Structure 1
Amino acid sequence: MEVEKHSGLGIASFITSIVSGVFIFLLIAVAGVMEASTPGGLDEESAAAVMIGFFLFAFLVTTLIAFGLGIGGLIQKGRKKIFATLGTVFSAVIFVSTVLLLMVGLMMG
């Protein structure tokens, strides 16, 4: 009887979703601090705001990639599915919550 190994795609999905989630959280925190500490608010066309927006969308794409890796890990046969499941769930929650937060921010502004 052969022992099942963890899915490489699942492990990659899990790690990628965690890393992208941490960086998205940090970017949102930095943007909030910059908005609060700048008199009159942060200029939307400043280099700092553009870079924060660019990296935010880059990490959102990374989260979608982690979701795809998780799905790939879930359909592999003969592999443990725990990391693929965690990576898929984490990346979906991170993506949806970030998009909802951005939508709330756009409605308030």
Structure 2
Amino acid sequence: MKPAILALAIALAPFAANAGEITLNKPLQGATLPGTETDMAVYFTKSRDAGYRVHAAYIGKDAEGQPKRVEMELHDGDAVSFSLPGHKGESYCFSRNGDTLSVSNELVTAELPGKAS
């Protein structure tokens, strides 16, 4: 494991969240969001143009390999949702509202066309 990723994982471990959402409102404040398929550690830094540079490292619950990284820049009012490669049963949503960055995850269930619940 790369030293920077290992340091991030160790530093964020005490901040593990019990629910499917975390909220961050200070740069370099970190938290870990446990999921059903993956666990994700998240923090942000401020960019020059008032954006938040979001840094996340995730690892699959069944993985023995290195954590993978996701980075993005969010401005006030931005939101993005996605599934991670190889983990299509779980969706993550990152959103920024003012000084607050929220990250949530939820299970994704596939529905066959023409089969309404």
Instruction: Give the TM interval when normalised to the shorter protein.
Output: under 0.3
Could you tell me the TM-score, scaled by structure 1's length? 0.26
> Which structure shows the higher strand fraction?
2
> Which structure shows the higher helix fraction?
1
Could you tell me the TM-score, scaled by structure 2's length? 0.24
